[in-house]
Amino acid sequence: MSTDTATTVPQRGVDRMLVRLEHLDKLLNLAGEVIITSSTLHELQRDMTDAVTHRKPMTEGDLQVIKSADEASARISQDLHDLVMAIRMVEIGETFKLFRRPVRDLARNLKKEIDLKFEGEKVLIDKALAEKLVEPLLHLLRNAADHGLETPIERIHNNKNEKGIILVKAVEHEAETEIIVSDDGRGIDADKIYPKAEQLGLITPGSRPPLLNVLCMSGFSMKEKATDTSGRGVGLDLVNTMVNEFDGTITLENDPGQGATFHLKIPKLKAVNIIDALIVRCTNTLYALSIDKVVSLQGVKADSIQASMDRERFIQYLGRPITLFDLSELLGGGASEQENPEVVPVVIIEGKHSKIACVVTEFLAPSKLVNVPLATDMFGKEAAGIAGTCIISGGRVGMTVDIDTVVALAAGDPLKQEEGHEDAAAFSEGVQALPANDKPFDSSVPDSAAVGHTQDELIEKSKLSAQRDRIANRIEESSQKDLTDTDISDLLTELSRGLMELQDELLTLENEKDPELMKGAFRRLHAAKGNFTMLGVSTSAGLAHQLETLLDYVRKDRLEISQELMDILLDGVAELNNATKMLPKQQPVDNAALLERIKTVLDAQQKAKPITDPDAVLGTTFTLVPTVELQLLGALKQGSQAYETFIRFKPGRQADFLVAYLTLRKLCYHGTVLATLPAISDIENGFCGTAMKVLWASLLKPDELKSAIDRWAGLFNIEEHHSVPTTVFRYDANAEI
Which CATH number does the domain housing residue 243 bear?
3.30.565.10
Residue 206 lies in a domain: yes
443 domain-assigned: no
**Looking at residue 359, what is its pLDDT?**
93
Least confidently predicted of 166-180, 219-233, 394-408: 219-233
CATH of the domain at 638: 3.30.70.1110
Strands 372-373 and 259-267: unpaired
Considering only residues 184 and 79, tell me which one the structure prediction assigns the higher pLDDT. 184
Kindly state whether residues 141 and 184 are assigned to the same domain.
Answer: yes
CA angle 210, 212, 215 (to 5 degrees): 115
Last residue of a domain, one of 398, 427, 456: 427
Instruction: Say what the pLDDT of residue 394 is.
Output: 66
What secondary structure does DSSP assign to 373-427, as a single string? E-SB-TTS-B-TTEEEEEEETTTEEEEEE-HHHHHHHHTT-HHHHHH-PPPHHHH
> Any alpha helices (H) in 583-655, and if so which ranges?
592-606, 614-619, 626-637
Q: Are residues 255 and 378 in the same domain?
A: no
Q: φ, ψ for residue 366 (rounded to 5)? A: -65, 155
Confidence of residue 190 (pLDDT cuts 50, 70, 90): confident
The parent domain of residue 484 ranges over: 465-606
Q: Alpha-carbon distance 290 to 368, whole Å?
A: 10
Residues 286 and 408 in one domain: yes
Average the pLDDT over 708-723 and give the result. Answer: 85
Structurally, the chain folds into a number of domains equal to: 5
**What pLDDT score does 16 carry?**
61
Same domain, 281 and 386: yes
What number is the average pLDDT over the span 374-396? 69
For residue 24, give the DSSP letter.
H
Lowest mean pLDDT among 76-80, 272-276, 327-331, 485-489: 272-276
Q: What is the mean pLDDT of residues 152-168?
A: 91
8 A C-beta contact, residue 494 and residue 580: no
* Mean pLDDT of all residues belonging to the chain: 77
**CB atoms near residue 521 (< 10 Å):** 26
Domain boundary among 557, 574, 606: 606
Percent of the chain residues topping a pLDDT of 70 = 79
Do residues 541 and 464 lie in contact, with contact meaning Cβ atoms separated by under 8 Å?
no
3-state secondary structure of 207: coil
**503 to each of 176, 517, 569, 640, how far by Cα in Å?**
31, 11, 9, 44
Residues 123 and 33 in one domain: no
**pTM beyond 0.85, yes or no:** no
Q: Residue 313: in which H helix or E strand, if any?
A: strand 312-317
Percent of the chain with pLDDT over 90: 10
- Evaluate whether 271 touches 126 at the Cβ level (below 8 Å): no
Alpha helices in 420-514 (DSSP H): 424-427, 454-477, 485-511
Condensed to tens digits (0 to 9), the pLDDT of residues 623-647 reads: 666 777 778 777 887 888 888 899 8
**CA distance linking residue 306 with residue 361, whole number of Å:** 19
The last residue of a domain, from among 588, 606, 624:
606
Are residues 258 and 112 both part of a single domain?
yes
Tell whether 201 is covered by a domain: yes
CATH of the domain at 537: 1.20.120.160
